[in-house]
Structure 1
Amino acid sequence: MPQLLRIGPYSIYFWSNEGDPLEPIHVHISEGRAKSTATKIWITSTGNVILSNNNSQIPERILKKLMRMIAANSDDIINEWINRFGEIKYFC
């Protein structure tokens, strides 16, 4: 899983295969190693973020900080998505 950011014990990453057809741009967050049950965050065309699910059960206070970090780095994350998958769609 391509790791994008590491913040404390949390990894923010893409799955190597994000679906066929390709899902809208999003990242996964888990504590430690990548997991299939990870929290999922959508990234909008304006660089904002939307919580899809909190399957990793990250405490709300920490999740809000992580989401702010994702939004602050959304330009780099979007560029990495395009480089990795060759196309991009947005959730909204």
Structure 2
Amino acid sequence: MPVIFRHQAFRFFFYSNEGNPREAMHVHVRSGEGEAKFWLAPEVYLADSDGFDASTLRKLRELVVENQTLIERAWNDHFA
């Protein structure tokens, strides 16, 4: 489970072996409060979540958008 970056209590990561065939590019976000999954294309959008309120999910989406290039680079480097 490669961790791409951390922000405050949140860990942004993906699983190395998720889906067969592998799912499209996405990122998971986890903290003690819950977990969320965001698809990156065609635009960043919430796939699912558990435990986060709407305000937190909006902030997490903003962080994913701000760091989308970093996330995509980490994904491509890992699966290349």
Query: Normalization by structure 2: what TM-score?
Result: 0.86
Deviations 1:22-54 (A, max 9, x none): 10001111115xxxx831110014xx3110111
Query: Normalization by structure 1: what TM-score?
Result: 0.76
Q: Share of identical aligned residues, percent? A: 32
Match of 2:13 in 1: 13
**Residue 80 (1) aligns with residue 74 (2):** yes
Contact preservation (8 Å) 2:28, 2:38: yes
Contact preservation (8 Å) 2:35, 2:52: no
4+ residue stretches of structure 1 with deviation over 4 A? none
Q: How many corresponding residue pairs? A: 79
RMSD: 1.6
Deviations 1:50-78 (A, max 9, x none): 101112x1121121111111111111111
Q: Which runs of 5+ in 2 are unaligned?
A: none
| 1:65 alignment partner, SS class | helix
Q: Distance in 2 between matches of 1:29 and 1:69?
A: 10
Q: Which has the higher strand share?
A: 2
State the structure with bigger RCO (CA 8 A, min sep 6), 1 or 2: 1
Q: Distance in 2 between matches of 1:25 and 1:15?
A: 11
Q: Which runs of 5+ in 1 are unaligned?
A: 87-92
